[in-house]
């Protein structure tokens, strides 16, 4: 039974998610369709990539992942379908593909949507293309092979001899804060030195814990979550709301000095001793 996932920014207040599922089932009633989320932020590609990449890796081979994110950011004549790690990703050509993969996949096809006008006409083209691939049609014959695509890449921590600075990648529903620093990156740069995790100028955590129960209720903690990323939190508290922490915004970084104070609410620095 072919598996399909849906990840979008369109919410679930209207009929669109149901309509897309109907289009897919009309192509192949045996499809097994799963929702990842329908509440991605249109402007936060790093957050979307974090959610998608860490969910997709748990799905079986030959799963089709449909991503609808900022679909109308730019006028495009095509949508993309890529082979990536024995799975397929279908998405707009707006940079989200390389954000998720961390590289440009070797096999990518473009599906022509130049004759379509509405959102559901675009998703119908995705459904039909996936149906052809499932039925056994040669991948490169379903669309036009393409190499020149819009490329964007995940945020990386900046490094100094005795420090590293990461950006706030994701804030979950409990307002726990995920930083774009993996355990491997942390340990490689740490080199067994003592450390201090500093946020909002003077808030400090100097221990890595195993889980939330490692500290008393109301205490701050840092740990590496199930995705392997550094996370700071308060046991049974809301660290983002309490300290005014915000998801990193690249557009804000490019704006004038008047907004520089917000930098302290979007980044976390680690000092090594």
* pLDDT mean by block of 10 residues, the chain; 273 residues: 95 95 96 96 90 96 96 84 97 95 96 89 96 96 95 90 94 94 96 94 91 91 96 94 79 47 74 96
Residue bearing tokens 């809301």: 238
Residue 262: its pLDDT value, please? 52
Helix, strand, coil percentages, rounded to 5, for the chain: 30, 30, 40
Q: 4, 63, 69: which is closest to 33 by C-alpha?
A: 4
Q: Write down the residue that tokens 């991948």 correspond to.
A: 139
CATH code: domain 158-272 is: 2.40.30.90
**Which residue, 172, 156, 158, is CA-closest to 233?**
172
Length of the chain: 273
What phi, psi does 249 have (nearest 5°)? -125, 110
SS3 8: strand
Token pair 């050509």 is at which residue?
A: 93
**Strand 64-68 vs strand 3-8: parallel, antiparallel, or unpaired?**
parallel
Backbone angle region of 218, left / alpha / beta, with phi > 0 → left and psi within -120 to 50 → alpha: left
Query: Can you name the CATH fold of 3-145?
Result: Rossmann fold (3.40.50)
* Closest to 2 in 3D by CA, of 31, 45, 44: 31
DSSP letters spanning 86-105: TEEEEEESSSHHHHHHSS--
CA separation, residue 247 to residues 20, 97, 111, 175 (Å): 30, 21, 33, 11
| Gap between the Cα atoms of 199 and 194, Å rounded | 17
Q: Which residues lie closer than 8 Å to 254 by C-beta, 6 or more apart?
A: none
pLDDT tens-digit readout, 113-125: 988 889 999 999 9
Spatial separation of the C-alpha atoms in residues 127 and 20, rounded to whole Å: 8
- The boundaries of every CATH 2.40.30.90 domain in the chain are 158-272
Delimit the CATH 3.40.50.10790 region(s) of the chain. 3-145
Residue 254 pLDDT:
47
Residue 220, pLDDT score: 95
Pairing of strands 177-182, 163-171: antiparallel
């Amino acid at each position: 039974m072919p598996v399909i996932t849906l990840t979008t920014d369109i919410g679930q207040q209207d009929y669109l998610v149901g309509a897309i599922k109907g289009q897919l089932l009309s192509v192949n009633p045996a499809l097994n369709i799963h929702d990842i989320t329908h509440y991605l932020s249109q402007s936060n590609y790093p957050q979307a990539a974090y959610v998608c990449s860490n969910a997709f890796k748990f799905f079986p081979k030959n799963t089709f992942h449909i991503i609808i994110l900022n679909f109308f950011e730019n006028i495009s004549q095509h949508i993309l379908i890529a082979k990536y790690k024995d799975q397929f990703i279908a998405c707009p050509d707006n940079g989200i593909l390389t954000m998720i993969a961390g590289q440009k996949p070797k096999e990518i096809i473009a599906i022509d949507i130049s004759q379509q006008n509405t959102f559901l006409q675009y998703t119908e083209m995705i459904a039909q293309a996936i149906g052809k691939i499932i039925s056994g049609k040669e991948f490169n014959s379903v669309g036009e092979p393409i190499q020149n695509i819009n490329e964007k890449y995940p945020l990386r921590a900046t490094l100094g001899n005795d420090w590293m600075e990461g950006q706030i990648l994701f804030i979950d529903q409990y307002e726990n804060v995920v930083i774009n620093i993996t355990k491997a990156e942390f340990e490689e740069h740490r080199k067994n030195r003592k450390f201090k995790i500093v946020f909002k100028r003077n808030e400090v955590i100097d221990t890595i814990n195993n889980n939330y129960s490692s500290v008393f209720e109301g205490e701050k903690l840092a740990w590496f979550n199930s995705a392997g990323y550094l996370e700071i939190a308060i046991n049974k508290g809301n660290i983002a709301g309490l300290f005014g922490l915000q998801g990193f915004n690249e557009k804000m970084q490019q704006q004038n000095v008047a907004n520089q104070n917000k930098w302290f609410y979007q980044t976390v620095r680690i000092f090594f001793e």
